[in-house]
């Protein structure tokens, strides 16, 4: 039995047409605050702990020599870990450590010693320097009582004279002024400092260099010390530059004049 087309159309339910939905535009205030609101606490925590995560990574912990030098529970430094780390570094780079040690203990002190302008000198080398260099002079810093018992070396044989200025630690500025007054050109003068021993001669040599002298040498052993001027003068120094006591000063001056005449 066939059904007519109007009957089928009448029996089907009616269909309603829907309008296409338009996208809603968000509010400007919501747009501004959206990035702040969308950040989750987990992302914030991740950003804050990222450096800690990198530092505590097992890869860096295995390759870094400074693994753990402090106890995280107490916050105190673990000395045993520090010593182990240093020992491992020395074992890993022995030539580097040896080179740094050699530079620090040998090269650096030697460079400082040879570059500074005040140096030690033996009595025989001081005499040779006084003899060979025209700008060299002898400075005797012993006190008046010591000079009265043991006179300064006479340098008339070399065409020079010893400058006698007693050193006073309480009046260093006055001492420097008196020393400069005894030399015509301190900036171009090389000074050999003579003390009773060698207690203050090093201080004086450094003081003179700091105050404008060209160079300063402190005689090791001084006048009376071991290998000092008196100890070597009989064997190594000519008689005109010998040091004599007050009793022998007159006879030494006569011997000096005769020797100088012979040399001329």
pLDDT in tens, 140-181: 999 999 988 999 998 998 999 899 999 988 889 999 999 999
- Top mean-pLDDT range of 6-15, 59-68, 78-87, 225-234: 225-234
**Gap between the Cα atoms of 61 and 55, Å rounded:** 8
Res. 199: pLDDT tops 90 = no
* Neighbouring C-alpha atoms within 13 Å toward the C-beta of 55: 8
Among 31-40, 106-115, 116-125, 135-144, the range scoring the smallest mean pLDDT is 31-40
The predicted pLDDT at position 104 comes to 82
H or E stretch covering 24:
none
Whether the predicted pLDDT of 62 surpasses 50: no
pTM of the predicted model over 0.95: no
Tell me what pLDDT residue 235 has.
Answer: 92
Secondary structure class of 148 (helix, strand, coil): helix
Of the candidates 244, 118, 256, 115, the residue with the CA atom closest to the CA atom of residue 190? 118
The pLDDT assigned to 16 comes to 47
User: With helix as H, strand as E and coil as C, how does 44-76 read?
Assistant: HHHHHCHHHHHHCCHHHHHHCCCCCCECCCCCC
Rounded distance, CA 44 to CA 21, Å?
37
What is the side-by-side order of every strand in the sheet holding 118-121? Answer: 118-121, 215-219, 190-194, 136-140, 163-164
53 half-sphere exposure, CB direction, 13 A CA radius: 6
pLDDT at residue 245, as a whole number: 79
Q: pLDDT tier at 117 (50, 70, 90 boundaries)? A: low
Burial class (CB in 10 A: 0-12, 13-18, 19+), 259: middle
* pLDDT(8) > 80: no
Give the pLDDT confidence score for residue 80 in this predicted structure: 84
The residue to which tokens 């009616």 are assigned: 14
Q: Say if residues 86 and 185 touch (Cβ distance below 8 Å).
A: no
Confidence of residue 259 (pLDDT cuts 50, 70, 90): very low
134, exposed or middle or buried, with CB in 10 Å at 0-12, 13-18, 19+?
exposed
pLDDT of residue 36: 41
User: What pLDDT does residue 160 have?
Assistant: 92
What secondary structure does DSSP assign to 184-220, as a single string?
S-GGG-EEEEE-SSSSSHHHHHHHHHHTT-SEEEEET
Mean pLDDT of the chain: 74
Tell me what pLDDT residue 115 has: 59
Using 50, 70 and 90 to split pLDDT, how confident is the model at 29? very low
CA distances from 217 to 88, 123, 153, 168 (A): 46, 10, 16, 19
CA distance 241 to 260: 11
**256 has a pLDDT exceeding 50:** no
Q: Dihedrals φ, ψ of 217, to 5°?
A: -120, 135
State percent of the chain over pLDDT 70: 62
Give the model's pLDDT for residue 42. 42
Gyration radius (Cα) of the chain, Å = 46
CB atoms within 10 A of CB 52: 9
Whether the pLDDT of residue 136 is over 90: the answer is yes
pLDDT of 203 reads 92
Q: Which two tokens stand for residue 16?
A: 């309603």
């Amino acid at each position: 039995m066939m059904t007519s087309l109007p009957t089928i159309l009448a029996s089907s339910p009616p269909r309603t047409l829907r309008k296409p939905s338009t996208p809603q535009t968000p509010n400007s205030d919501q747009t501004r605050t959206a990035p702040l609101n969308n950040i989750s606490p987990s992302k914030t925590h991740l950003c804050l702990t990222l450096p800690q995560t990198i530092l505590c990574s097992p890869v860096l912990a295995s390759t870094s020599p400074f693994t753990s030098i402090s106890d995280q529970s107490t916050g105190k430094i673990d000395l045993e870990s520090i010593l182990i780390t240093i020992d491992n570094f020395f074992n890993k780079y022995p030539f580097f450590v040896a080179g740094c040690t050699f530079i620090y203990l040998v090269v650096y002190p030697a460079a400082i010693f040879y570059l500074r302008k005040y140096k030690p000198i033996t009595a025989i080398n001081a005499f040779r320097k006084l003899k060979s260099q025209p700008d060299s002079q002898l400075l005797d810093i012993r006190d008046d009582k010591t000079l009265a018992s043991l006179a300064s070396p006479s340098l008339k044989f070399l065409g020079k004279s010893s400058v006698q200025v007693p050193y006073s630690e309480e009046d260093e500025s006055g001492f420097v002024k008196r020393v400069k007054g005894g030399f015509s050109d301190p900036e171009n003068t090389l000074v050999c400092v003579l003390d009773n021993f060698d207690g203050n001669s090093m201080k004086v040599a450094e003081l003179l260099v700091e105050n404008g002298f060209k160079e300063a040498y402190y005689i090791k052993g001084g006048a009376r010390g071991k290998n000092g001027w008196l100890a070597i003068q009989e064997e190594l120094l000519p008689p005109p530059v010998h040091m004599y006591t007050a009793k022998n000063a007159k006879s030494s001056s006569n011997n000096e004049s005769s020797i100088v005449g012979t040399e001329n």
